[in-house]
Structure 1
């Protein structure tokens, strides 16, 4: 099992709100595809940040999970976080505002990935 899958499993275990996204993802694709899961997760994160649904503590918990994952210095999970989370936030105009919630490793990856 790769680190990308472990990353998603840890997030779903630690943040129950995201379990429904995970289950819908598995039902639709028949397997866990970490890049696609993170793209789907980004929409929920944006709704949380915008206050369309309550749960900013879940956003903070996600950021903590991503920061911890980056400490493992694993290329697979780093790639999932950079390409399917950070770039999606940037593409939807949310990366700059989210940086205040990011730890140092995640901010550095955002800078490396998107120059922000």
Structure 2
């Protein structure tokens, strides 16, 4: 199993609220495509932050990703960067304040990605 697929599997294991999304993803994609799955994770995380009580808890998702990011293999880090952090809302967009609540690992990486913005 590749590191990016391991990250997906661990996320679903630790945050079972993603299980239905995961199962639908695997069915539709005929397997795990981490970048595609994490686009859904981002959308659900922002929805939760905006008050959607049916979406997996944004705090738990952000905490998990921050914890994993520091020790993850480069292939798994790439998924978090390109398919989670890159898709977080920019200032002025709904949910953009979510970036203020990222843990230190994710906040540092987001600051590298968006150097002209303040988080």
The alignment's TM-score, normalised by the length of structure 2, stands at 0.84
Query: What is aligned with 2:46?
Result: 46
Q: Does 1:31 align with 2:44?
A: no
1:3-82 mapped onto 2 (5 Å cutoff):
3-53=3-53, 58-82=57-81
Query: C-alpha root-mean-square deviation of aligned residues, in Å?
Result: 2.1
In 2, Cα distance between the equivalents of 1:19 and 1:32? 13
Are the counterparts in 2 of residues 86 and 95 from structure 1 also a CA contact under 8 Å?
no
* Deviation per residue, 1:52-108 (Å, 9 max, x gap): 32567x211111111121121521111101110111113693674122321111101
**Number of aligned pairs?**
115
Q: Give SS of 2:87's match.
A: helix
Are the counterparts in 2 of residues 38 and 85 from structure 1 also a CA contact under 8 Å?
yes
Q: Give SS of 1:53's match.
A: coil
Q: Higher helix share goes to which structure? A: 1
Unaligned runs of 5+ in 1: none
In 1, Cα distance between the equivalents of 2:14 and 2:8? 10
Unaligned runs of 5+ in 2: none
For residues 98 and 32 of structure 1, do their structure 2 counterparts lie closer, same or farther at Cα, with a shift above 3 Å needed? Answer: same
Shift of 1:2: 1.8
For residues 94 and 5 of structure 1, do their structure 2 counterparts lie closer, same or farther at Cα, with a shift above 3 Å needed? Answer: farther
Q: Which runs of 4+ in 1 moved over 4 A?
A: none
